[in-house]
Amino acid sequence: MNLIKRIKNPTPKFFKVLRNIGLALAAVGGTLLAAPIALPVVVTSIGGYLAVAGGVISAVSQLTTSTENEDATQ
């Protein structure tokens, strides 16, 4: 299965929820990084980690597909 087919296939419900959690983490991390006030270094570091973790979680869960659909098409 190539990447285009993988993206077009339906995503299982659990991974849709996980994708939304990842997007929320990335948004919180981005907000902390782009804050207009000076934040402590620890908070800025946590914001960076949240943004990266949220992006990875969202990307992986978006590309996860159900094997039931794959078996039915073969």
User: Looking at the domain assignment, is residue 5 inside a domain?
Assistant: no
| Containing structural domain, residue 19 | 11-67
pTM reported for the whole predicted model: 0.77
Does a structural domain hold residue 21?
yes
Is residue 1 one of the residues assigned to a domain? no
Tally of domains in the chain: 1
Phi, psi of 38 (to 5 degrees): -75, 120
The model's pLDDT over 46-57, given as tens digits with 9 standing for 90+, comes to: 999 999 999 999
Closest listed residue to residue 63, CA positions, set 71, 51, 55:
55
Q: Is 27 part of a structural domain of the chain?
A: yes
What distance in Å separates the CA atoms of residue 69 and residue 12, rounded to the nearest whole number?
A: 10
pLDDT band at 70 (very low <50, low <70, confident <90, very high): low
**pLDDT tens-digit readout, 2-60:** 888 887 888 899 999 999 999 999 999 999 999 999 999 999 999 999 999 999 999 99
Does some domain include residue 73? no
**Does residue 58 lie within any of the structural domains?**
yes
- DSSP helix, strand, coil percent of the chain (3-state; round to 5): 75, 0, 25
Asked, for residue 18, whether it belongs to a domain, the answer is yes
More confident call, 1 vs 29: 29
